Chains A and B, each alone.
Chain A
Amino acid sequence: KAGVTQTPRYLIKTRGQQVTLSCSPISGHRSVSWYQQTPGQGLQFLFEYFSETQRNKGNFPGRFSGRQFSNSRSEMNVSTLELGDSALYLCASSLTGTGTLQETQYFGPGTRLLVL
């Protein structure tokens, strides 16, 4: 069974631009969560989607948004990029998500975003 895939793997953008990242979960998994990883803050939860609905949300500004499609694939969007948005963006999938995240999550390799 293929693992979680993320595209693109690397991305360079400039301040003010917007970016869309894509995540394909493991086949059969319906929950997709997004995380930001930086050296200073570590791994931080962005949001979780299940059945095309955002079910949980972390403490990030509204510039960070996401969506999930009927095939469980998910995208996240960051608008008006800032230098501080440079990070590794990780996507994780799980079978049902259960709403309380008490289920094993499987991570993709991440998208490395550099904002200049």
Chain B
Amino acid sequence: GESVGLHLPTLSVQEGDNSIINCAYSNSASDYFIWYKQESGKGPQFIIDIRSNMDKRQGQRVTVLLNKTVKHLSLQIAATQPGDSAVYFCAETDDKIIFGKGTRLHILP
């Protein structure tokens, strides 16, 4: 498969544990944030989004937390499974969309 980033930070998590992936964003005017998952050989896949008037949003097994004070976004994945192995990107939008470099999530058996 294709490698989306040769020098990405990697988070290794035991199968069944919770994963927390962090992202610092740059533009204090950004008001919409998205997390994407990209598996090898595929395009990014939408996971969850959050608007700036919220600080937490939950989906199925995923939670996004937004701290506007320190411009920090996190993605929590509950009960991590082998299928969660991928590169995870955050994105911020104002009038343009800016993606983070990504974090590779590696699941340990």
B43 close to A4 (CB less than 8 A): yes
B4's partner among A88, A104, A105 (CB-CB below 8 A) is: A88
Q: CB-nearest residue of chain B relative to A106?
A: B46
If over half of B's interface residues share one DSSP class (helix, strand or loop), that class is named, otherwise mixed; here it is loop
A107 close to B31 (CB less than 8 A): no
In the bound complex, residues from chain B placing their C-beta under 8 Å from that of A42 are: 5, 89, 99-102
Shortest 4 CB-CB distances between A and B: which pairs?
A107-B43, A43-B99, A102-B32, A39-B6
What are 22 A-to-B residue pairs whose CB atoms are below 8 Å? A4-B43, A33-B97, A39-B6, A42-B89, A42-B100, A42-B101, A45-B97, A90-B43, A100-B93, A100-B95, A101-B32, A101-B93, A101-B97, A102-B31, A102-B93, A104-B49, A107-B36, A107-B43, A107-B44, A109-B41, A109-B42, A112-B2
Additional 7 contacts, C-beta under 8 A, given A39-B7, A44-B99, A45-B96: A33-B97, A42-B89, A42-B101, A45-B98, A92-B43, A102-B31, A106-B46
Interface residues of B (CB under 8 A from A): 2-7, 31-32, 34, 36, 41-46, 49, 51, 89, 91, 93-102
